[in-house]
Structure 1
Amino acid sequence: MTYNLRKNVMNAKEVVATMWQALMTAADPAAIETYVDANYRQHSPYVKDGPQGLRELVDGLRPDYRYELVRIIGEGEFAVMHGIHHNWLNGVFSGGEAVVGFDMFRVANNRIAEHWDASVPLITASVSGRSQLEGATQVERPHLTATSESVAENYVKTVLIGRELDRIGEFVAPDVLQHSLEIGDGIDSLKAALAKTRYEYKKIHHVIAEGEFVAVHCEGEVHKNTYTFWDLFRLDEQLRIAEQWHVAAVFPDVVVHTNGAF
């Protein structure tokens, strides 16, 4: 793992939500001085490093930009947001007027110290008939945090990286609900999709859990191009994956900083 997720435990969710409301919703540039560390480290490929990169991002937002938060989870220093960026950058980098994505922040001393993200265009049609974002949103079983982290990490290592598809039933519920656009509901549809997937999972970089929800941030490839893979899982009462959300985004060869994707 990249970080010890349980050291220096703080309410990262509260810091991130407050910062986001002030900076991205209210468009108040003073929020950068209040909530962003002077050594802020950026991994988003299209945003420059440091607080100045954030200032330039906010200055470049469309007047009608808005963010729709669907769910947020946090563990230790980290918080992960899952939602929709509406009217995002005129579609220059996103490929659409609205994008679905994950934004992850690391918080240190009550300031935003680091950020990762990935997004894809909002699509209305899917194999399962479910949208990219609908489904459960609230943590109802906070005592499951450590278990969720373990189940998700072992699933990704065993099935997605290790390609042991015959073991998928150890981790996934038979009636798993699917929000990945190309996969239908149920474990058989998931297994069939994984058998022919073009995604090559290589390495886990972060596992962030809260209660029955857990987000896994992975490095991988599609046709030899570097990708960031985000998978959000919800566990059921039998401690198996009952619901999945997914974003896969290419990390371009030319970016505006030297921090890399991970």
Structure 2
Amino acid sequence: MNAKDVVTTMWTELMTAKDPAVIQKWVAPTYEQHSPYVQTGREGLEQLVASLRDDYSYELVRIFSDGDLVVLHGIHRNWLNGVFTGGEAVVGVDMFRVVDDQIQEHWDASVPVIRISASGRTQLDGPATVEHAGMTQQSANTAKAFVQTVLVDKQHQRLPEFISKHGLAQHITEIADGAACLTQALAVSDKEYVAIRKMVAEGEFVAVQSEGRVNGQTHTFWDLFRVDAHAKIAEQWQVAAVFPDVVPHDNGAF
């Protein structure tokens, strides 16, 4: 099986059917967890499934893969008791590393669903299916250059050279569409990008995981992009989540 099929099957059987028995099949004995709310190893996943609310559900919006890495972009409804407890919906990015048809490693980040946005778009709407498989490398090059140049190196004046001539469809809730609005938002943002950690590209879609800080606190920044035929960014989604100082493992955020 390819990595995407492994993750899709595991996720359906574990998180949708809520069957902890499948952990032994799909999860490696040396499974390494980076989620700040779940213990590492198979035991952590077993505890996770046991803690799911009866009315928990997951809606997958996007999935794409690159080699042994797979990214899911979707919405969790009625999440964990003891972490989120009011029936909240959260937008999540989950990334898995697959080795020999088993999940070897997992990273994630999630933020609450916000109903109002500056652009009128939601945190998840927009194109979701890979239509241009041959664009993978150029999409990866564009996204990496943008994040490194504009976000990490803070060369905000260069932002327009990376944006589609047809404009930028924006899904970060506090920012309106267009390159000018993103430039203005970055100038006053409290998000400090430190370094790119991982990147997953398939076709016109790219997910970039960056290490970051907000007011000195470690965060994981996930920027998802759709790149157009001219190798320019046409659409952006983001999940930026705190990585607490105290977590139930010592694997770190990245």
Do both proteins adopt the same fold according to a TM-score greater than 0.5, normalized to the shorter chain?
Answer: yes
TM-score, reference length from structure 1: 0.94
Which runs of structure 2 are paired with 1:57-76 in the superposition (5 Å)?
57-76=48-67
Q: Does 1:177 align with 2:166?
A: no
| Equivalent residues, number | 253
Match of 1:257 among 230, 249, 254: 249
Contact 2:36 2:247 in 1 (8 A): yes
Q: Secondary structure at the match of 2:131?
A: coil
> Counterparts of 2:171 and 2:181 in 1: how far apart (Å)?
12
> Counterparts of 2:236 and 2:198 in 1: how far apart (Å)?
17
Q: Does 1:247 align with 2:251?
A: no
Contact 2:159 2:183 in 1 (8 A): yes
**Number of the residue aligned with 2:214:** 222
**Number of the residue aligned with 2:38:** 47
Deviation for aligned residue 1:92: 2.5
Q: Does 1:186 align with 2:178?
A: yes
> Counterparts of 1:63 and 1:215 in 2: how far apart (Å)?
31
Deviation for aligned residue 1:91: 6.8
**Number of the residue aligned with 1:27:** 18
**Number of the residue aligned with 1:144:** 135
Q: Which 5+ residue runs of structure 2 have no aligned equivalent?
A: none
> Counterparts of 1:75 and 1:24 in 2: how far apart (Å)?
22
Letter in 2 for 1:109: D
Q: 169-178 or 48-57, which moves further after superposition? A: 169-178
> Counterparts of 1:94 and 1:207 in 2: how far apart (Å)?
32
**Number of the residue aligned with 1:6:** none
TM-score, reference length from structure 2: 0.97
> Counterparts of 1:160 and 1:47 in 2: how far apart (Å)?
29
Letter in 2 for 1:234: R
Match of 2:117 among 121, 126, 139: 126
Contact 2:65 2:202 in 1 (8 A): yes
Letter in 1 for 2:187: A
Q: Does 1:154 align with 2:145?
A: yes
**Number of the residue aligned with 2:5:** 14
Contact 1:232 1:246 in 2 (8 A): yes
Residue identity over aligned pairs, in percent, reads: 58
**Number of the residue aligned with 1:5:** none
Letter in 1 for 2:248: V
Letter in 2 for 1:189: C
Deviation for aligned residue 1:172: 1.4
> Counterparts of 2:19 and 2:83 in 1: how far apart (Å)?
24
Contact 2:136 2:202 in 1 (8 A): yes
For 1:167-195, what per-residue CA distance to the aligned partner results, in whole angstroms no more than 9, with x for missing partners?
Answer: 11221125100000111001111111111
Q: 168-177 or 248-257, which moves further after superposition? A: 168-177
Change (3 A) 1:94 1:84: farther
- Structure 1 runs of 4+ aligned residues shifted over 6 Å read none
Letter in 1 for 2:124: L
Q: Which 5+ residue runs of structure 1 have no aligned equivalent?
A: 1-9
**Number of the residue aligned with 2:101:** 110
Query: What's the C-alpha RMSD, in Å, of the aligned pairs?
Result: 1.3
> Counterparts of 1:119 and 1:37 in 2: how far apart (Å)?
24
